[in-house]
Structure 1
Amino acid sequence: MLQDHRRRAAVAFVLLFILYQGAEGVGARLLDNFAVQAAFMLAMVAVAWPVGRWLGFRGYDAYALEWQRSTPVLLSGGLALALLVKYVAVCVGMAVNVYAASAPAVPSVAAVSFLSSIPWALVATFVPSIAEDILTRGFLYRALRVQWVPWIFAVASSVLYVLNHIYRLGAGPAEWIMLFCFGLAYATAVVRTGSLWLAVGLHWGWNLANVLIGDILPYQVMSPVWSSLLSAGAHLVMLGLLFALPTQFDREGLHPDPA
């Protein structure tokens, strides 16, 4: 039975991985077509539901995405924390010359640009964020049916998160360190709460801030290496803050019953 589940899990992961990577590999790089890129990403999230059923779960429960009373708090709390940390990181970067402030737009123009960007940015950053969280965190945490030691899960998930960025690995060690620290923060959110939703909120908030912050605090990157390391440090700060949360592992064990 366990061997059959592992075979199914391997097939399921490969399918989701291909769909996720197809968004950039086919949609962005091969065809340079945003519609195709979006179609791949939406297909990955949509297919994850029947895949979860096939693996013996109730759809997205396979990735610790049960909708519970705490879900809105976890999602919105992660979103708000990441937006705040990103803003502070940019301010720190400007202070130490990692970033340079760009000429601000006319306030009325900047306000219109910011407000008009929000609706599409919310969707455009949420879908890729939850897709990658399903693939690199939720799948490992729940669908594999492995009883993880928390720190081993965090490291394994972080390594997978780095390797999942196959088109960015050529950027060098600073990029790898940044991605690994991102993965540590988001994986820690999973093991502290027993849910993927807080990780989704943090990931979504960071990606959303990358889109919107240019309207609030326009800047140019002066040092790509130090910019990556600054982002890594910001996520280590987020990781530290997560330890203020009560952990589900202490109360109920790492894996709540998915049935």
Structure 2
Amino acid sequence: MRETVSLDWRSLRAWCALAILIGAYFLQAPVESFAIAPLKQAADLHMIKDGAMSLEAYAALMIVRLGWNALLVAAIWAVLGRPFDGFPLKDRRVFRHIVIGLLIGLVVMTAAILCIVFVGDARVSHVSQPAATALKFGGGWLLADVVGALGEELYGRAAILLVAERFLGWKGAVLVSGLMFVVIHLGNPGASAIWLVRLGIQGALLAYAVYRTGSLWWSVGYHAGWNWASAPLFGAAGSGYLDQGHLFDFLPYGSVWLTGGAVGPEGSLFAFLAVVMAFVLLRKTLPSIARNCGGEFGSRSIL
């Protein structure tokens, strides 16, 4: 992978885009609260219900977040003078990239959880529920996680990369994306140092995948598959939250270093191995693309 794009940090457009990005970060929470309040009142939605995340409330929040971050990316595109069908959204292989990413995220997170079980620090049991209920929650959470992943990737792997690469190049942008992935999760329940370090590495992986594949769609699929395997499928805490209607029960009782503690298997040492596995699988399953983006900001060649 190499870069031929010239840095653009002296450009007024780049600084305006950075100001929009920073402003959007601080405005996101109040905007989401304002937008979701009528929905909560009309449908009597509660984010935490019986000790677990409500599917309906979570889905509503993710839809609002998706809309907000889509507007953010559009604003940054406009300020930077980019075409609205350009990098990193335009991709003729969207479905393929999403599916491959989804499967890899599902496989590596499942592997991490099964490793915890294998070493004897947790057990997994089946939740007794009607097939229709399992299908409702399993399918519902998968759709919600895809929407949520797309919203988060629009911020972390579209908006941030488009701006950061103007100042630091693609390698610096990857590091900034990883750092911001940590920052936006600092308030999650049970956040631990090891979990935050793993988040930073995973955020950098997701950003690297954008430059390797030429779009953010692998990252969207991987992000959704990872999240779905953890909480909706195995019933473990996902980023500190339990999900309503999970299909299995993950019952940890061993070392916090291995189980992840309150934050779930994502905070386990095995989660680091899962990220390494994902990196290897990304490179094995998808060849690096060569991409040139000409115009006002020079050209980028990613190999």
What's the TM-score bracket when you normalise by the shorter of the two chains?
A: 0.7 to 0.9
The alpha carbon displacement at 1:232 in A equals 2.5
Q: Which shifted more, 50-59 or 79-88?
A: 50-59
**Which residue number corresponds to residue 88 of structure 1?**
111
| CA displacement, residues 73-103 of structure 1 (integer Å, 9 cap, x when unaligned) | 111110111112222221111011332223x
The residue aligned with 2:281 is 241
Identify if the C-alpha distance between structure 1 residues 158 and 84 changes in structure 2 by more than 3 Å, giving closer, same or farther: same
Deviations, residues 188-237 of structure 1 (Å, cap 9, x unaligned):
21121121111111111111223233355431233444231222321121
Residue 5 (1) aligns with residue 30 (2): no
Q: Equivalent residue for 1:252?
A: 291
- Percent sequence identity over aligned pairs: 23
* Whole-angstrom distance in 2 between the partners of 1:195 and 1:173: 30
The 1:69–1:93 alpha-carbon spacing in structure 2 relative to 1, beyond 3 Å, is same
Residue 183 (1) aligns with residue 181 (2): no
Change (3 A) 1:149 1:4: closer
- CA separation in 2, counterparts of 1:169 and 1:155? 24
Which amino acid is 1:54 matched to?
A: A
Mapped pair 1:47 → 2:88: no
- The one-letter amino acid of 1:64's match is P
What's the counterpart of residue 215 of structure 2? 195
Instruction: Give 1:17's aligned residue.
Output: 25
- Would you say 1:213 and 2:213 are equivalent positions? no
SS of 2:123's equivalent in the other structure is strand
Structure 1: which amino acid aligns with 2:71? Answer: V
- Give the Cα–Cα distance (whole angstroms) in 2 for the partners of residues 142 and 77 of structure 1: 24
**What's the offset of the Cα at 1:147?**
7.7
Go from structure 1 to structure 2 and tell me whether the alpha carbon gap of 1:44 and 1:98 turns closer, same or farther (over 3 Å shift). Answer: farther
Relative to structure 1, the CA distance from residue 232 to residue 257 in structure 2 (aligned partners, 3 Å threshold; closer, same or farther) is farther
User: 1: CA distance between counterparts of 2:66 and 2:191?
Assistant: 27
Ranges in structure 1 where 5+ consecutive residues have no aligned partner: none
SS in 1 for 2:11: helix
For residues 199 and 31 of structure 2, what CA distance do their matches in structure 1 show?
Answer: 19
TM-score by length of structure 2 reads 0.69
Q: Secondary structure, in 3 states, of the residue corresponding to 2:95?
A: helix
Could you tell me how far 1:19 is from its partner in structure 2? 4.9
Higher helix share: 1
Asked whether the equivalents of residues 161 and 174 of structure 2 are also in contact (C-alpha less than 8 Å), the reply is: no
Shift of 1:7: 2.8
Whether the 8 Å CA contact 2:67–2:151 is kept in 1: the answer is no
Q: Indicate if the aligned counterparts of 1:158 and 1:183 stay in contact, CA closer than 8 A.
A: yes
Determine if contact 1:188/1:239 at 8 Å carries over to the other structure.
no
State how far apart, in whole Å, the 1-side matches of 2:140 and 2:211 are: 31
Change in Cα spacing, 1:221 to 1:178, as seen in structure 2 (3 Å) is farther
User: d(CA) in 2 for partners of 1:258 and 1:123?
Assistant: 37
Aligned match of 1:70: 93
CA distance 1:202–1:220, change in 2 (3 Å) = same
Q: What one-letter code is carried by the residue in structure 2 that aligns with 1:5?
A: R
Q: Distance in 1 between matches of 2:173 and 2:165?
A: 12
- Cα separation, partners in 2 of 1:99 and 1:115, compared to 1, 3 Å: same
Whole-angstrom distance in 2 between the partners of 1:156 and 1:164: 12
Q: Secondary structure at the match of 1:59?
A: coil
- CA spacing shift, 1:205–1:258, aligned 2, 3 Å: farther
Q: For residue 4 of structure 2, what is the aligned residue in structure 1?
A: none
Q: Secondary structure at the match of 2:234?
A: helix
- Answer whether contact 1:100 1:221 (CA < 8 A) is retained: yes
Cα 1:258–1:42 change in 2 (3 A) is farther
Q: Which stretch shows the higher mean deviation, 122-131 or 16-25?
A: 16-25
Residue 119 of structure 1: how far off its partner (Å): 3.6
User: Per-residue deviation at 1:24?
Assistant: 8.0
Q: What's 2:53 paired with?
A: none
Distance 2:212 2:120 in 1: 35
- Structure 2: any 5+ residue segments left out of the alignment? 1-7, 48-56, 236-245, 261-266, 297-303
| CA 1:145–1:90: 2 relative to 1, 3 Å | closer
Worse overlay, 111-120 or 181-190: 111-120
Indicate conservation of the 8 Å contact 1:52/1:58, yes or no.
no
Separation of aligned partners in 1, 2:157 and 2:120: 34
Cα–Cα, structure 1 residues 166 and 224, in superposed 2: closer, same or farther, change >3 Å?
A: same
TM-score by length of 1: 0.79
